[in-house]
Amino acid sequence: MARLDDSAGHYRALYDTAKAGLPGLGLDWLERLRAEAIERFAATGFPTARTEAWKYTNLQRLARTTARLAPAGRVDAARLAPWTLGDEAARLVFVNGRHDPELSRLPALPAGIEVTTLGRTLDADGDSLRDRLGRQVALDERRLAALNTAFMTDGIVLRLRAGVTVPGPIHVFHIATGDAAPFMVPPRNLILAEAGSAATVVESFVDAGGGAYWTNAVTEIAVGANADIRHVRVQAEGREAHHVGLVEVRVERAGCYRALLLSTGALVARNEYHVILDGEGAEAEIDGASLLDGRRHADATTVIEHRKPHGRSRQVFKNVVDETARAVFQGRVLVAVDAQKTNAHQLSRSLLLAPGAQADAKPELQIFADDVKCSHGSTVGALDATALFYLRSRGIDAPTARALLIEAFVTELIEDWPTGAVRDHIGAVLRSALRREPGGTGPAA
């Protein structure tokens, strides 16, 4: 069927003009990877609602936009302040997708912890990434990740040797800024955690007056045996922006990947996780909160594949949706025939604050093993009128009572997080979003 947009032609032409300026020029394997990726994207273009996985999230407006590659941008350090974590082991700031050394902070780290940027690594030591970069992304299935792969320019490369623990969170800032002309930012991160290593990585996607840009981000994470990776994504972008983010994770034996997603959406935002539990006893926890107002849209899509026995996964997603915003949760759990004794739980709960607010939940369990414990649940409802009356009958005014109940609904998510700078930051981001502070100003310190 003929497509209404010519996104394929547009991005292929953009690639042809841009490729000489992309990092890693001259690396054969990378050129082949990029060329294959742009062809994979061009073969199909943007997904449409006819694709089941994109039923609830419409990218047609984006598909009709002739975005250019992100121009260089500058942001004031003060812009970062409200989003900054305490106790950061390192901070890497990417403005419009390019590393900004002045805003970044990279102190000496213990041996075995290597924090670099993708652009510099590809230019200086590209072959060290040859067998790792792009290994976890199926270009034929993830067409927007394929587009990212063609254009990938910068991001973080974190390599952890066996047994090391990073002494504090690593903060990766992605900030968009610029004029009104639409542009694409293609951040690409790679996290390789060898056996027994541990780290917390916080990614923040923030809009500093970026207008109608779109973020097309890919993060690949390899969690080695017994390694423990915590990964927070704060996705707080502008009302005119698009965000498509894919996190590809592979977890080996007894390794653990824990994710927390905090999204205030965008014009259209899609945060997608694909986690493969590829070793015995591997674990994944993905929790998420979407706090949406106006006509924002946020889609959280997860696929967890249990491939080996004794794996465990848990997902809790909470949405607070106001005005005419829309939250989507699609969660698929696959349990392979060999993955006996799998324990998989999934829950999504949505709170609708206005008659025009909408929430869609699509849980999917596909189980081929016969000795497993799997469950899912989903609720959509308004604020509990009885609870509201209870609080008011104790003297608490209606707006405060509503705010307390909404805050309680979402902060339940972080009750199990270890106390410290990251948890404090997450709490501040949540409360700030609930107070409806204008987008881009960040959470109160």
Is 314 or 392 the residue whose CB approaches another protein more closely? 392
Binding mask 217-246 for another protein (x = CB under 8 A): ------------------------------
State the Cα–Cα distance between residues 119 and 21, nearest whole angstrom.
11
Provide the phi-psi class of 253: left if phi over 0, else alpha when psi is between -120 and 50, else beta: beta
Select from 115-123, 183-191, 403-411, 435-443 the region that touches another protein (CB under 8 A): 403-411
424 forms part of the interface with another protein (CB under 8 A)? no
394 forms part of the interface with another protein (CB under 8 A)? yes
Select from 107-115, 182-190, 275-283, 387-395 the region that touches another protein (CB under 8 A): 387-395
Is 50 or 394 the residue whose CB approaches another protein more closely? 394
Is 127 or 384 the residue whose CB approaches another protein more closely? 384
Structure tokens at 252: 């080996």
CB of residue 385 vs another protein: minimum separation in angstroms? 7
Q: Of 398, 435, 436, 444, which one interacts with another protein (CB under 8 A)?
A: 398
1 forms part of the interface with another protein (CB under 8 A)? no
CB of residue 294 vs another protein: minimum separation in angstroms? 25
State the Cα–Cα distance between residues 109 and 248, nearest whole angstrom.
26
Q: Of 198, 367, 391, 428, which one interacts with another protein (CB under 8 A)?
A: 391
State the Cα–Cα distance between residues 216 and 411, nearest whole angstrom.
28
Is 244 or 351 the residue whose CB approaches another protein more closely? 351
Amino acid at the residue 262: L
- Other beta carbons less than 10 A from residue 388's beta carbon: 17
Computed from CA positions of residues 32, 34, 35, 36, in that sequence, does the dihedral angle turn out positive or negative?
positive
* Contacts of another protein in 308-367 (CB under 8 A): none
Count of residues engaged in binding another protein, rule: CB under 8 A: 25
181 forms part of the interface with another protein (CB under 8 A)? no
395 forms part of the interface with another protein (CB under 8 A)? yes
**Closest to 23 in 3D by CA, of 99, 116, 123, 156:** 123
Select from 123-131, 303-311, 356-364, 404-412 the region that touches another protein (CB under 8 A): 404-412
Amino acid at the residue 212: A
**Closest to 413 in 3D by CA, of 258, 265, 294:** 258
105 forms part of the interface with another protein (CB under 8 A)? no
CB of residue 397 vs another protein: minimum separation in angstroms? 5
Q: Of 102, 385, 438, 445, which one interacts with another protein (CB under 8 A)?
A: 385
CB of residue 406 vs another protein: minimum separation in angstroms? 10
Strands 312-321 and 283-292: parallel
List helix spans (H) across 163-292: none
400 forms part of the interface with another protein (CB under 8 A)? yes
386 forms part of the interface with another protein (CB under 8 A)? yes
Strands 183-185 and 326-335: unpaired
CA atoms within 13 A on the CB side of 146: 23
409 forms part of the interface with another protein (CB under 8 A)? yes
Distances (CA, A) of 90 to 26, 105, 123, 165, 169: 30, 6, 22, 13, 7
**Closest to 270 in 3D by CA, of 223, 348, 205, 202:** 205
Provide the phi-psi class of 155: left if phi over 0, else alpha when psi is between -120 and 50, else beta: left
Give the footprint of another protein on this chain (CB under 8 A): 384-387, 389-398, 400-401, 404-405, 407-412, 415
